[in-house]
Amino acid sequence: MGYRAGVVGAAGFAGIELVRLLSRHPEFDLAAATSDALAGTPIAKAYPAFTGVTDLAFSTHEDTDFSAFDVVFLAVPHKAAMGMAPDLIAAGVTVVDLSADFRLKDPAIYEKWYAPHTATDLLAQAAFGLPELTGDELAAAAERRAAGEAVLVGCAGCYPTATSLAAAPAIRAGLVDAAAPVVADAVSGVTGAGKKATERTHYCFANENLEAYGVGTHRHTPEIEQILGLEGRLVFTPHLAPLNRGLLSTVTLPLAPGAAPTAEELVELYRDFYAASPLVSVMDAGVQPRTASVAGTCRAQVGVAVHPAGMIVATGAIDNLGKGAAGQGVQCANIVFGLPETCGLEEIANPV
């Protein structure tokens, strides 16, 4: 008998990806998937891909008793999770949140970009969920859970994940000018915008189109700055591409005075940095990541090059629903519950 798991907000894109991963996870037993809009509807009826996989039906948030569950994944909008997490934690249930509510360490920064935070006590103790870069926080959360404490994980967002995985090794090695701006240009598939169609994400507007949005104002900016220590120095511009899934971030990092690594030296540095990270692959010098090579998985590809203008150009490719959301949530839960971090996440992308 494995750990009893539930998903709140299971009918959305990230939520149903959690259902997919948990329905075949060897240690987490999916026992509830909530959606107020689809309550009573079999999951396989709403999403026929689950025919023959699960007989579970969606239930309502309010009528689902999670008190006997080991872990609950929150795939709900920003500002909703901080209203749900306190009761779950008080009931002894570990919470893995996919929203932004428990990512930013400073409640004043959260308020600036979102709204006043109503669970600052939990915010202070939440582990940040980007295993390759914040493994110490997750390890500490695992120790607390093993001691009988319910813990909270705030998973990193999709843009911060790809951008930070691409940039962190160079920054942490001291190769980047600590006074210069860092520029990140990132492109995401349409599922990153959520299930509800808008004038930007409606098929007729998104298809055959590429555009920047949230220029200078995107909410993931402070999260990336927090991860990479770039407060006030990040120029982040997201773009929407006519893809279902996939996210690519290209980060331009000015070299520190006196730093002159070769591409091969950078690749070696990056491979050493991610040597204990089984879900991150560093490409050979001259080879760039591809979103198609990670779609449908929790894997990340990272590429790095030297620009003759005195810059490092680092690229990161992930699936925005996989490593950028649901897969990352499961990876974090694996760590917190003392499981191999790749448990249930061994899929590779379709090669063509």
Angle at CA 234, nearest 5°, toward 232 and 238? 135
Active-site residue (options: 155, 158, 298, 332)? 158
Closest listed residue to residue 113, CA positions, set 236, 239, 24, 228: 236
CB atoms within 10 A of CB 94: 24
pTM, rounded to two decimals: 0.97
Longest dimension (CA), the chain: 64
Report the helix count and the strand count for the chain, using DSSP H and E: 11, 13
DSSP letters for 252-304:
EEEBPTT----HHHHHHHHHHHTTT-TTEEEPPTT----GGGTTTSS-EEEEE
- Respond yes or no: is residue 332 known to be catalytic: no
**Which amino acid is residue 67, in one-letter code?**
S
What integer pLDDT is reported at residue 196 of this predicted model?
Answer: 86
φ/ψ (deg, to 5) at 59: -120, 170
Regions of the chain where pLDDT drops below 50: none
Residue 158 has what pLDDT?
98
Give me the helices (H) in the chain, please: 13-22, 43-46, 81-90, 107-113, 120-125, 131-146, 158-172, 203-206, 221-228, 263-273, 327-336
Question: What's residue 230's pLDDT?
Answer: 97
Instruction: Give the pLDDT score at 1.
Output: 60
pLDDT at 191: 94
